């Protein structure tokens, strides 16, 4: 067994520096690496390029890094729900690259899987495809999209073991598996870290080979963005 366990979030983020490119898992506030984000705020690193489907809300998730102006560029598919983000984007303080959600997932997966680029039909004929190579396959047009390159990938899983194997829960899975192994160093934080051998190999969603460091998250707030319920009749 190759041990991936580190003792703390500080150990897990060793090597993070200004001007790096980071991938961060999560959809909305679901499945975001809360502990890594809190530590990035504490470290005060700046000039970051963040690849993440969303940009958090004003006071949680990546919104915390935006507030401190630690982010130089966001690469996302959807950035509503964040006033500070909108302000920084419209004033030109923040560089933003908006890309289709499936393209975002696939550019992560391509980096993980060793593909330099992929052809996708998404965005053909729109401003997303401007300046990009296009090609026809079987009568349909596709856009060439390159694999991401990133220094660190921060993911969040439900359970993990010392070997770095991960199990996700519900829709908190989202981009997290796609970002494992897609950066030079993948850091996983989990709600429950167990000794190797305790997780059933049949149930592993992401094998530990894609993870370099794993740690038990100290605190998970798991904030709900849109609480919707129905009444018992």
How far is CA 13 from its chain centroid? 15
**Residue count of the chain:** 233
3-state secondary structure of 116: coil
In this structure, are residues 56 and 63 in contact, taking their beta carbons and an 8 Å threshold?
yes
**224 contributes a contact to another protein by CB under 8 A:** yes
Nearer to another protein, 5 or 164 (CB): 164
The count of chain residues that interact with another protein, using the rule CB under 8 A, is: 60
Q: What is the DSSP letter of 27?
A: B
The minimum distance between CB 28 and another protein, in angstroms, equals 4
**165 contributes a contact to another protein by CB under 8 A:** no
**27 contributes a contact to another protein by CB under 8 A:** yes
Binding another protein (rule: CB under 8 A), the pick from 8, 14, 126, 134 is 126
The CA distance from 211 to 108, in Å, is 14
The minimum distance between CB 225 and another protein, in angstroms, equals 4
Binding another protein (rule: CB under 8 A), the pick from 121, 194, 204, 209 is 121
In this structure, are residues 158 and 125 in contact, taking their beta carbons and an 8 Å threshold?
no
The CA distance from 153 to 183, in Å, is 5
The minimum distance between CB 176 and another protein, in angstroms, equals 7
**207 contributes a contact to another protein by CB under 8 A:** no
The minimum distance between CB 112 and another protein, in angstroms, equals 9
Question: If you write DSSP's letter for every residue of 180-211 in order, what string do you get?
Answer: TTSSSEEEEEEEEEE-TTSS-GGG-SB-GGG-
**229 contributes a contact to another protein by CB under 8 A:** yes
**21 contributes a contact to another protein by CB under 8 A:** no
The CA distance from 171 to 181, in Å, is 20
**77 contributes a contact to another protein by CB under 8 A:** yes
How far apart, in Å, are the Cα atoms of 136 and each of 100, 102, 121, 210? 19, 19, 10, 34
Binding another protein (rule: CB under 8 A), the pick from 125, 135, 198, 218 is 125
The minimum distance between CB 191 and another protein, in angstroms, equals 10
**120 contributes a contact to another protein by CB under 8 A:** yes
Q: What is the DSSP letter of 30?
A: B
The CA distance from 161 to 115, in Å, is 28
**147 contributes a contact to another protein by CB under 8 A:** no
Binding another protein (rule: CB under 8 A), the pick from 42, 169, 195, 198 is 169
- Which of 91, 16, 84 is CA-nearest to residue 50? 16
List residues binding another protein (CB under 8 A): 27-31, 53, 76-81, 86, 89-90, 96, 98-106, 108-109, 120-128, 158, 168-178, 205, 222-232
């Amino acid at each position: 067994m190759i041990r991936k366990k580190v003792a703390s979030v500080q150990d897990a983020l060793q090597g993070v520096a200004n001007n790096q490119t980071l991938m961060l898992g999560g959809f909305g506030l679901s499945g975001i690496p809360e502990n890594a984000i809190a530590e990035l705020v504490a470290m005060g690193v700046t000039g970051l390029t963040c690849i993440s489907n969303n940009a958090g809300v004003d006071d949680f998730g990546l919104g915390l890094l935006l507030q401190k102006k630690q982010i130089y560029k966001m690469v996302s598919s959807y950035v509503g729900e964040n006033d500070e983000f909108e302000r920084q984007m419209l004033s030109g303080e923040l560089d933003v690259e908006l890309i289709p959600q499936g393209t975002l997932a696939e550019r992560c997966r391509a980096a993980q899987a060793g593909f330099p680029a992929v052809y996708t039909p998404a965005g053909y004929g729109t401003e997303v495809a401007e300046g990009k190579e296009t090609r026809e396959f079987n009568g349909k047009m596709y856009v060439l999209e390159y694999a991401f390159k990133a220094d660190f990938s921060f993911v969040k899983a439900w359970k993990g073991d010392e070997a770095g194997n991960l199990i996700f829960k519900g829709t908190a899975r989202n981009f997290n598996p796609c970002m494992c192994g897609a950066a030079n160093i993948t850091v996983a934080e989990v709600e429950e870290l167990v000794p190797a051998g305790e997780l059933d190999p049949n149930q592993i969603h992401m094998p530990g080979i894609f993870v370099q460091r794993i740690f038990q998250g100290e605190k998970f707030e798991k904030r709900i963005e849109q609480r919707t319920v129905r009444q018992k009749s």
